[in-house]
Chain A
């Protein structure tokens, strides 16, 4: 298996997701990434809830 195929394979569940699910994953991922260094994750659940509500209307 080539390297390219491997990477694509890893990302496949996200690439094949419905648009709204994909956007949720990408936005949540970005949010979590920005908070990696914060020990306290206050408000993160509210923010994630907002993302889901914004993407699925």
Chain B
């Protein structure tokens, strides 16, 4: 982050809109000096930076409520809004940014209400246009320079020793850990651990996989089916062979003259048997068809008789009279004449007589429906009778065929028996062979049937197993994936832990070394700064051979704090230039804005710090009083000045003492008499001819 400008409006002592202060950002002339006497608004300016970026103020910043310039409030009408804002610009990784934090106050009867602040950000594009980013401005600022670290970059030099005060140690250690990336690694490790637990729970929920066992089972069944299928082929071949063999044997038998007649008779009977069997099969089929198509009719007899009972009952009660309909009687009454010719007038005897029929007669629509239903019910009853007749017919036919087949079989047996016992040995042996073939065929047919059934059953089992396996396989894939994820997470945790250990070893020790170098260069004391494992900064002495903490003076602590900040910026810049990833600020450029930086230091220390800080920070903005500036600080820093400003304080105090500062041969007013009753500050740019 390289700060480029700051502009204020009605912010504290700055009345109205100030001119834009451009900030130095060169390689050598990287320092901006802002001169101002006490009370002129130096601390306000420092806080303008922290307020616009983080809505935070430094500890010494009194009366935060009085943010809005008093003159602006005094001059406003009642109920009128007064605006107060700070706008700063910076560059970061090739992009230009501007943010403005504004606060609108309303002047009421006797008091002033300041509303909430509003932060707006613009990001400059290469084409010169400024766009509002989609991300939250706070988030963008925090990614560039986290708020927790702001005390390293914007600080009050007179209170800088707070960094090493024991009650601030933990806070600073925390910030240092963030700066060095340790905190991010710690959080990553912790949250990856949580994620790993969640993944393990997911794995448990998937459950154990049984795929292997199911696959074994499937393989076994498939082998069995294969075996049976193979056997079926064998049977088929064997049957074909036996049939051919039977044919040949029969033919040979027929060829023998003695057996010829019997054999022919046998052949004839055999074809009769086949014909009868065919017929038998057909009749059975016909019977099945009759039952399936019309069998229901015989089950309806109870229902149809119930229906008849209802109809009879309705008729007996006169609710369903056959013959005369209500509509017919109404017609007669309307036409005022009966079919017998009698006139029907309201009140006469004939009319009364005919009218009584209105109650007895039913509606023709109901009657018609009843008649239709009766016809259908009659039809069902007839069908039931027809069904039984047909069934009887088919049954009789079946019995006849059965008898006929058994007769033929008996005849065949007789022929075979005669052939078996034939005196001619050849004939009898051929017949015996035929018997054997026959029984073999019979046996094979039975086996074939049984096998077929078994194959069908095994196929169903395999299909079922396939479904189960597919399901298990899916589970197994999920398990493998979950395990891979757990493994990767664990690996990430281990690697991050190792990085943390190495970082601990290297960064902390290198940082400590650098603090020691800088501190020893500035301070005349023999004390040694140490950075503990918890990243806490302490000062120790080693004069007795044993390290002992030092009760350091304010000045020592100031030197220590500045050394620490300088070394952090120096080391982080060095590391982040090489490896971006593990460093927190995405940058190797750091600004330092320091207010009254040389507070209680002696001349020697001031000289050293004035020399060191511009070298270590990329950009330096220093707010100084005349006395803080002149002498060794001026001597060390003048060459580094890129921009310079004077804060001119207009005092409302009558007859106030005016003050000036001489810069680059010119006189600039530090304190002037206010032309009105208000005190306020103006910003004047210094023109040096360096």
Binding site for B on A (CB under 8 A): 3-4, 6-7, 9-14, 17-18, 20-21, 24-26, 28-29, 32-37, 41, 44-45, 48-49, 52-53, 55-57
Given A28-B191, A29-B184, A11:B488 Cβ within 8 A: no
If A33-B184, A45-B195 touch, whether A56 touches B481 (CB-CB below 8 Å) is yes
B142 touches A37 (CB 8 A): yes
Residues of A within 8 A of B584 (CB): 33, 36
Q: Which of B148, B498, B506 contacts A37 (CB 8 A)?
A: B148
User: Knowing A48-B192, A52-B488, A56-B484 touch, does A36 contact B178 (C-beta < 8 A)?
Assistant: yes
Q: Given A13-B498, A48-B195, A32–B485 Cβ distance below 8 Å?
A: no
- Knowing A10-B503, A32-B184 touch, does A25 contact B148 (C-beta < 8 A)? no
Closest to A11 in B: B579
Q: 23 A-B residue contacts at CB 8 Å?
A: A3-B574, A6-B510, A7-B575, A10-B506, A11-B582, A12-B502, A13-B494, A14-B499, A17-B495, A21-B491, A25-B495, A28-B188, A29-B185, A29-B582, A32-B184, A33-B584, A34-B143, A36-B142, A36-B187, A37-B146, A37-B148, A45-B195, A56-B481
Residues of A within 8 A of B575 (CB): 7
The answer to whether the Cβ of B581 comes within 8 Å of any Cβ in the partner chain is: yes
Q: Are B188 and A32 in contact (CB under 8 A)?
A: yes
- The answer, yes or no, to whether B199 is at the interface (CB within 8 Å) is yes
Also in contact, A20 and B488, with CB within 8 A (given A9-B502, A36-B146, A44-B191): yes
* Mask: chain B, 579-599; 1 = CB below 8 Å from A; 0 = not: 101101000000000000000
**Contact B198–A7 (Cβ < 8 Å):** no
Q: Which of A7, A12, A57 contacts B578 (CB 8 A)?
A: A7
Looking at the assembled complex, report how far the CB atom of A32 sits from the nearest CB atom of chain B, in whole angstroms: 5
**A contact face: mostly helix, strand, loop, or mixed:** helix
Q: Is B492 on the interface with A (CB-CB < 8 A)?
A: yes
**Category for how many chain B residues contact A:** 35 or more
Complex alpha-carbon distance, A52 and B481, angstroms? 11
Q: Give the docked Cα–Cα distance between A49 and B187 (Å).
A: 14
| B485 A53 Cβ-Cβ under 8 A | yes
Interface residues of B (CB under 8 A from A): 139, 142-143, 146-148, 178, 183-185, 187-188, 191-192, 194-195, 198-199, 481, 484-485, 488-489, 491-492, 494-496, 498-499, 502-503, 506-507, 510, 574-575, 578-579, 581-582, 584
- In the complex, how many angstroms separate the beta carbon of B312 from the nearest chain A beta carbon? 78
Closest to B496 in A: A25
Q: Is the CB of B191 within 8 A of A41?
A: yes
* Chain A hits for B489, CB < 8 A: 24, 52
A53 to B484, CA, bound (A): 10
CB contact under 8 A between A49 and B199, given known A28-B492, A34-B139: yes
Q: B598 to chain A: closest CB distance in Å? A: 32
B81 → A minimal CB distance (Å): 31
Given contact pairs A10-B582, A11-B499, A45-B195, A25 touches B492 in the complex (Cβ within 8 A): yes
> Which of A6, A14, A32, A33 gathers the greatest number of chain B CB atoms within 10 Å?
A33
Q: Tell me the smallest distance from the CB of B195 to a CB of chain A, in Å.
A: 4
Known: A28-B188, A29-B188. A55 touches B143 (CB 8 A): no
Give the docked Cα–Cα distance between A7 and B188 (Å).
Answer: 20
Taking a contact as CB atoms under 8 Å apart, the answer to whether A21 and B492 are in contact is yes
* Given the contacts A36-B148, A36-B183, A7 and B579 also touching, CB distance less than 8 Å: yes
CB of A56 within 8 A of CB of B142, answer no
A55 to chain B, nearest CB (A): 7
Task: Write the nearest CB–CB distance from A19 to chain B, whole angstroms.
Answer: 10
Complex Cα distance A56/B502, Å? 27
Is A29 a contact of B506 with CB atoms below 8 Å? Answer: no
Nearest CB of chain B from residue A48's CB, rounded to whole Å? 4
* Residues on A with beta carbons closer than 8 Å to the beta carbon of B510: 6
On chain B, the residues within 8 Å of A45 by CB distance are 191, 194-195, 198
The reply to whether B199 and A52 form a contact with Cβ atoms under 8 Å apart is yes
Q: In the bound complex, how far is the Cα of B495 from the Cα of A10, in angstroms?
A: 10
Q: How far is the CA of A24 from the CA of B485 in the complex (A)?
A: 10
Q: Contacts A10-B499, A13-B495 known; A48 to B194 CB distance under 8 Å?
A: yes
A13 with B499, Cβ < 8 A, contacts A26-B581, A37-B147 known: yes
Contacts of B503 in A (CB 8 A): 10
Q: Give Cα A48 to B491, complex, Å.
A: 15
Q: Which of A9, A10, A57 has the most CB of B within 10 A?
A: A10
Provide the residues of chain B in CB contact with A7, threshold 8 Å: 506, 575, 578-579
Q: Which residue of A lies closest to B487 (CB)?
A: A56
Contact residues in B for A37 (Cβ distance below 8 Å): 142, 146-148
Closest to A36 in B: B146
Question: 18 new A-B pairs (CB below 8 Å) besides A11-B499, A25-B492?
Answer: A6-B510, A9-B506, A10-B499, A10-B503, A12-B502, A14-B496, A18-B491, A20-B488, A24-B192, A32-B184, A34-B142, A34-B143, A36-B146, A37-B146, A44-B191, A45-B194, A48-B191, A52-B199
Which residues of chain B have C-beta atoms less than 8 A from A9's C-beta?
Answer: 502, 506
Instruction: Return chain B residues, CB-CB under 8 Å to A33.
Output: 143, 184, 584
A25→B187 CA distance, assembly (Å): 12
Is B495 a contact partner of A52 (Cβ separation < 8 A)?
A: no
Chain A residues, Cβ within 8 Å of B199 = 49, 52
